Copies of this chain bind each other. A is one copy, B any other.
Amino acid sequence: MAVYTDVTDEALRLFLAEYDLGELLAFRGIAEGVENSNFALKTSNGDFILTLYEKRVDPAELPWFLGLMRHLGANGLSCPLPVAGRDGVALRELAGRPAAICTFLPGIWPRRVRQAHCAPLGAALAMLHSAGEGFRAERPNALGPRAWGPLLERCREGGDDLQPGLIAELDRHLAGIQHDWPRDLPRGHIHADLFPDNVFFLENEQGSPVVSGLIDFYFACTDFLAYDLAICLNAWCFEPDLAFNVTKARAMINAYNALRPLTPEELEALPVLCRGSAIRFLLTRLYDWTHTPAGALVTRKDPLEYLKRLRFHASARDVSAYGL
């Protein structure tokens, strides 16, 4: 939950005067998202989300993110669409921060992932990858394989306080992942953070969940498409006790595959992509863990949840471990 920066009503009125959004009707901080400040904005034209970009987002990269969202929307994906001011500019400034208004997406993110969510999620991921085609500019994955070694170095001091022997185990895993990492696979624009709280669902008439939209593209980058699927397998297919649910995984992969068939090389690489994805989230959590003063005003997520995932993937001989 997050509203790091508040906005005075006067500043808001001046800001909205640059838009053709009609009359301001309501403005409430939203307790979701962890990186930026988000506000629900209601005007006589409808519902919108106002985002103030906080310091973990590089302002120089915002045009790429907003451009990608616009491209994805134009290609049929349901995602927040940046709303431009009267001058055609969507990325502005408010309360000393870069700021943008995007369209509001209906839907509810699943607090508990059910099997019925996984096929629609897999299909939405394939649609995202297709919709990204033709967006020319690339953004390297700042949290990709080359970042993991330096991240682990910066956790070396303090990492074993969390669990004795952790750093040595991660050294072994990381060496293996880097040795096995595929040299080349189909590439494109990936979300790279498609956790359940970034996917909204509604129910169809039969009561089955359908994806109503994807949000929070501020980790999006250009990388192996199948790596995005590996992130989703980690984020959606482990039960609260961290047992891997192969039925969910099979549903997700099959739905993805039906819209964007995975190549044999992608299928073969899936276990190592999953190991890489697990160590990526493990390392950023471990970094936060070792660098956040005790008692600070943030919730630290448990890195060890990802150690259990990592060990599962390390035990996978091939894609059959994922139900295929």
Residues of A whose CB lies within 8 Å of any CB of B are 1-3, 6-10, 12, 24-32, 40, 42, 47, 104-112, 114, 200-203, 294-297, 299
Contacts and interface: CB of A to CB of B under 8 A. Distances in A.
A280 B310 CA distance: 54
Contact of A1 (B10, B31, B200, B294): B31
Contacts of A112: 8-10
A8 B111 contact: yes
A6 B111 contact: yes
A179 to B, nearest CB: 40
A25 B111 contact: no
10 contacts: A2-B31, A8-B112, A9-B201, A12-B108, A25-B202, A26-B108, A27-B108, A29-B31, A29-B32, A42-B47
A110 to B, nearest CB: 5
Contacts of A42: 47, 106
A108 B31 CA distance: 17
Nearest to A38: B31
A198 to B, nearest CB: 13
Contacts of A111: 6-10
Given A31-B31, A32-B28, A108 B1 contact: no
A9 B295 CA distance: 31
Contacts of A1: 1-3, 29, 31
Contacts of A299: 297
Contacts of A294: 295
A215 to B, nearest CB: 11
Nearest to A297: B297
A9 B30 CA distance: 17
Given A26-B108, A30-B40, 6 more contacts: A1-B2, A25-B202, A26-B107, A29-B30, A29-B32, A31-B31
Contact of A31 (B8, B12, B30, B106): B30
A208 to B, nearest CB: 13
Contacts of A24: 108, 202-203
A34 to B, nearest CB: 12
Contacts of A28: 30-32, 40
A287 to B, nearest CB: 21
Nearest to A295: B295
B106 A25 contact: yes
A134 B177 CA distance: 73
